[in-house]
Each structure stands twice: as C-alpha cells, then as structure tokens.
Amino acid sequence: MTFGVKLERLRDRAAFPPLGHVEKRWGQLLREQPSLSVEFQTLVTNGTLVPLSRLARLHSGVVTRANAFFIVRELPFASVPHRFGLTRKDYDKNAVVLDGVESPFRIEREFLKPLIKGPEDLRASLFIRETDLRLFDVREGRKELQDKGATGAITYIRRGETFDYRKSSDDLKGGIPAQRAQVKVRKPYWYSLGVPDRKVATIVVPEHYDRRYIASEVTRDDESVINDTLYSVTPYKAEHLRLILWSLNSLLGWYQIELRGRTQHGQGVLKVKIPDFEGLLVLNPDRADSSVQKGLAGLFKPVGLAESSDSLSSLADVPRNEFDEAVLRTAGFSDPARARAQLETQLRAAVAERRERRLSVADAKIDRRKVRGDASLDALATRMAAGSDLFPDPRDFVGHGVALTAFPVLTDVEGPLRVGTELFSQNEVYAGDTCIARLEDALSAHFVKGVLLRDPGLKEVQVPARWALERIVGEWDAACKAWHHRFEETAALTLRHTTDERTKREATNRALILLHAL
C-alpha cells in the first residue's frame, strides 16, 4: 500500500469509525461467513444498508436499584381490601398496590406508570402484553405533594425511608431503599428515577437472547416505562421507525445480533450491549421509496402479530420467508432467496455453537454447585415461592348459602396427595399409598384433596352440597390453571441461569411444596 493510498484511507470514515462506535467485534470477525462479510460491505458502500446509530438513539431502561419498593402490583377493584374505602369514583384517580413484600398501599394514579419489565412482556413485534405491574414515579418534593393533597404518595415515600426491604441474602439488595448507596445520592430527591418523557413511538429490544429474537413497537400514546432489562431504540425521525422495526425483526437483523452479541457467564445466553446494537446494519430509508415500504408493511403484518417462543422454528413459515426475502431484496442482495438460505444456515450454526459451548462446561458447573447442596436448592425454591401466590383454596369458591357436610380425615397426611384413578377408588383421596378419605363421588374427592393441600392438619373437611360442587370445582380448576401459568413464568425467570435439569426439577418441587401446591 503506497503512502498516497494510506492518506486516502484517512479520509474514509468507514475505515476509522468514531470513538465508541463498534463496527465489528472480534466474535463477529471470527464467526462471520467470508462471502457474506464481503456482500455486507458492498451493500454498505452502495448505501442500501446503514448502521443503526445513524437512524436512532439507543438507551437503557430505568434502573430502580430497589425493585421491591419502586415496582408495585396494582390490585383490581374487586380485590381492594374494604378498609381502604375505595369507591368506583375514587378508583379512577387512586389505585391500591402491593409492594415487593405484599403490603397494600393506596397511591394516586398520576404517580404510577405502566411498566414493561422484561422480554416476556414482548409477546410479538406489534403486541406488548399489558400487566398489573406499575412503577412508582414521583418528581415533586414533599411540599409540592402536600399542596396537591397527594397523601398516598407521601405515605409511600415515608415507607421507603423507614422499612427494610430485605428479600435476598445479597447485602446490595436489602435494607431501607432511601439509605442504599446508589439510591440516596440521587438528585433532586432519593426517589427520583429520571424517567424520560417519551413523546414519540419507540422500539424495545431485549439485552439478552436465547432462541427468541424480538423487537416490539411501543406506540406514541403508550405511557409504559421500559425497565433496565430492555433497551429503547428511538428514531431521530418518526418516519424511519417502520424500516428499523422491520430490519430488527428480519433474518438480516437476527444474524447480526447473533454475531455481535457475547455469550454471558457460560450460560449460553447472548448478551447484546448498546454499542453492539448501534453497529447493526439496517435498511436505509433514503433508498426505500414509499411503494417498497408499502409492500414490506403488507408482508410484515402477519409476521409482526405472530407469537413464538422460538424464532428459529418460525424460519420455515411461508409468511416469514416472503418477508425476509423482501427485506434482503430491499437491502440490495442480488439473489434474495439464496441469501436467505445462507443466512439461515449461518444463524442456526451460530446458535448451535453457542448452546454447545454452554453444555461443554455444564458438568464443571454442576461439580462446583454440589458444594452448596441443599442450601442452593432451598434458596432457589424460596425465591420462586416469594414471587408466587399461594395455591388456590377451593373453599374460597364455596360462597354463601351452600350446605356443607363434614367428612373425616382417616389418618395423618404423610406423602403427596392424589385422587384414586381406578374404577372403585375415584372417590378416595390418598397420601402416598395410604387412603386418608372416602367421599361420595370423584368431585368431592378433588375438593377434599384441594383443601388438604392448604391445610394438611385438618381432621375433617366440610364438603359442599352436590348441586353446587360442580361449579365450585370448575372455578377452582380454572384458578389452578391460571396459577400454574403464573408460577411457570416465575420459575422460568428464577431458573434462567440454572443449567442442570435435575436441579431445576428439585427446586421447582420444593417451591410447590412451600406454596401448598404439591
């Protein structure tokens, strides 16, 4: 290379990117297929692909440093305790919430913001799940709150200055929120979270990935606050949002995310930081006219509404293939069908390599974990139990005016409860292999089993009359199914860093026992 050529390269911004911008990471350089790398570079030179940082600003979600205080759960009107005296009219401006230790408080709605807590809330690219989680966000001082008559917010702030929210053995996650090192230094008040006012639509992407790649749109009128397990992608121009959303939800974006991310802690989970996202190549809005965008919008709609827990499984879907090929055609690939097949092959290979790397160190991790033994299992089970409600009690669905008949419990409950499955045992309840109760029918046996799960020490169980029993057991079964769904979400979140399947099963069983569900 001559001296003149070297001087010419100094003028090339692509050869010398700005400080802090990562165009290619080492992992990408090592894993990227050479022919694809050349084609990507050609498309960048042609201007059909541009780095995401040129079109949008990326920033992390809100960091509370005290989730048990700042993240609360709103109760529906029917579940509000009577002592709060909340009327339907009051409910429009006030809510009753549960903090992280299940204590109820009445707080004015203007200080509670809907929360997008994690990737599990991103159900599809065009659909974000609504939850009962709220973020306590106050920007005024006590004087301003007193002038507004916001007694609920003032009371809850005082709670954060006096109550020890200790839910973990980790010293950094316990103590009084207002006195925590990273909380008390906030300005102008210790409870100032600095939640940004979002005036435009944005895109939410996770920080961590496994086999699900997702980027979801948050519309302009959605007031939800984004938590720190997610990133916001805010376009500099509102009209660029759709092309960015399509790029991030295409095979083109997934392939780059997989190459630019970094495997975290040997768990096989991909961690993608803001500089990694900023270097992603997306469609250039200046090179996609309105007719092209209209075509992409039509192809994206069925893809954007589809929910999937495994993005790789959707790669064989016809709507997905048509959309991906249209994106690659817009990007300038000469043969979109061939490029799609090549990108899919490379993506699957990269994911398989990442997961194989996790399995290669799993045995060593299990050996290290054996030192903790039952203490580790109990800790996992306790965390799962703390994040779940108690298993539903069938007696809660009996109601008033239903006649009850007492049936004795024949012996102490020792062992897992079950209802007999043979022809002549369907009306019997067993603890292990011992029959502990004989009822008149199978529905009564299911009712007694549910009661004994909650109160195994009972000597007799009051069973409702047969005419009401079918309704009661039906409502209880529906509540049990909903409970199990919530528990599985909590268990998956708690066990996300646990690789050994036996440990997962044992910890889950212990949590179910703690919650009177097993």
Looking at residue 169, the DSSP 8-state letter turns out to be S
pLDDT band at 172 (very low <50, low <70, confident <90, very high): low
Lowest mean per-residue pLDDT among 35-44, 256-265, 334-343, 472-481: 256-265
Residue by residue, DSSP assigns 326-366 as HHHHHHT-S-HHHHHHHHHHHHHHHHHHHHHHHHHTHHHHH
Q: Which pLDDT score is estimated for 359? A: 61
Looking at residue 91, the DSSP 8-state letter turns out to be H
Distance CA 44, CA 464 (A): 72
Mean per-residue pLDDT, 366-389: 65
Q: Which pLDDT score is estimated for 138? A: 97
Strand 460-464 with 404-408, pairing: antiparallel
Please answer whether residues 398 and 472 qualify as being in contact, where contact means their C-beta atoms are separated by less than 8 angstroms: yes
Q: Which pLDDT score is estimated for 13? A: 47
Q: Which pLDDT score is estimated for 371? A: 37
Task: Give whole-number Cα distances, 436 to 307, 446, 463, in Å.
Answer: 45, 13, 15
For residue 134, what is the enclosing H or E element? strand 133-136
Q: Is 480 helix (H, G, I), strand (E, B) or coil?
A: helix
Residue by residue, DSSP assigns 231-288 as EEEEESSGGGHHHHHHHHTSHHHHHHHHHHSEEETTTTEEE--HHHHHT-EEE-GGGS
- Whether 134 has a pLDDT exceeding 50, the answer reads yes
Tens digit of each residue's pLDDT (9 = 90 or more) over 455-466? 887 888 888 888
Tens digit of each residue's pLDDT (9 = 90 or more) over 390-404? 888 888 888 888 888
Type of residue found at 202 = T
At residue 225, φ and ψ (nearest 5 deg) are -95, 140
Average pLDDT score, the chain: 86
User: Is the peptide bond between 188 and the residue preceding it cis, with omega within 30 degrees of 0?
Assistant: yes
Task: Give whole-number Cα distances, 451 to 28, 79, 400, 440, 499, in Å.
Answer: 57, 22, 18, 16, 35
Q: Which pLDDT score is estimated for 372? A: 43
Q: Is 4 helix (H, G, I), strand (E, B) or coil?
A: helix
Task: Give whole-number Cα distances, 514 to 231, 340, 388, 478, in Å.
Answer: 35, 49, 10, 21
Comparing C-alpha atoms, which of 109, 117, 116, 87 is closest to residue 156?
Answer: 109
Instruction: Say what the pTM is.
Output: 0.67
**Residue 35: partners with Cβ closer than 8 Å, 6 or more residues away:** 342
pLDDT band at 278 (very low <50, low <70, confident <90, very high): very high
- Whether 168 has a pLDDT exceeding 80, the answer reads no
Mean per-residue pLDDT, 494-504: 80
Positive or negative: CA dihedral 124, 130, 132, 134: positive
* Domains, the chain, with CATH or none: 20-62+198-360 (3.90.220.20), 67-184 (no CATH), 394-514 (no CATH)
